[in-house]
Amino acid sequence: MTFIIVAATVLAGGSGYLGAWALRDEYYLGADHQRPVWTTNVAIALRAAVLTAAGTWWMTHTIDPPDLWIRLAGMLPLFIATPILTSTDFTKHLLPNKIIAATVITQIPLTVLALVLTQQTPHPLLTALGAALAYFATVFLLRLLPSGIGAGDLKLALPLGWALGLAGWEALILGIILGWVLGGVFALGLLIFTKAKGKNMMAMGPWLLYGTLIAGVL
């Protein structure tokens, strides 16, 4: 298992740096405009590596194969993408389509590979697809309300639902609830401790991601 953790961590660090580098001309990933771009890319890579190491270590110690490999197929791309997505959403209120698409495109073949290698039935694949559509539908309905949900959050629901679906329907429900609870607590804190008003924009994507990461590794 140690090899898996180390390999995933190195992969995450490299992928995180490349992802941040690919977005250098579209989104500024840091709050300090005096900071060189490469330092921001390194910070993103380090965060991706640390998150992946912690998440993979926890999963390998709490989940037994073959479920471990199937769930890692959905979670590993999210570990890598989370630092970039949270940075762009917090600073620019944008969730890059390139990163969301890359996450989904990575999750699907990894899931198929995990199912083939563990000789499992296609049932987890169908559950992941159903969960992705269910999460998408949930966010779509909430977007019809004055909830501050944007188009990026709607697209983000697909990889989040896929990862949670591989962990089971209970994880999907928990992930959705946690995401909204965390976002609600943060919004309440902004209203109480800052001069933010109800009409101010708040990044919801990071909290949906955090809720999914917590539910996905439990």
What pLDDT does residue 142 have? Answer: 83
What pLDDT does residue 174 have? Answer: 96
Mean pLDDT by 10 residues, the chain (218 residues): 87 87 65 60 91 95 93 95 91 88 95 93 92 92 77 93 95 94 85 64 87 94
Phi, psi (degrees; rounded to nearest 5) at 212: -70, -40
Q: Would you call 153 exposed, middle or buried from its count of C-beta atoms within 10 A (0-12, 13-18, 19+)? A: buried
What pLDDT does residue 31 have? Answer: 47
The predicted model scores a pTM of 0.90
What is 186-211 written as a DSSP string?
A: HHHHHHHHSS--TTS----HHHHHHH
Pick the closest to residue 165 from 124, 110, 137, 107 (CA basis): 124
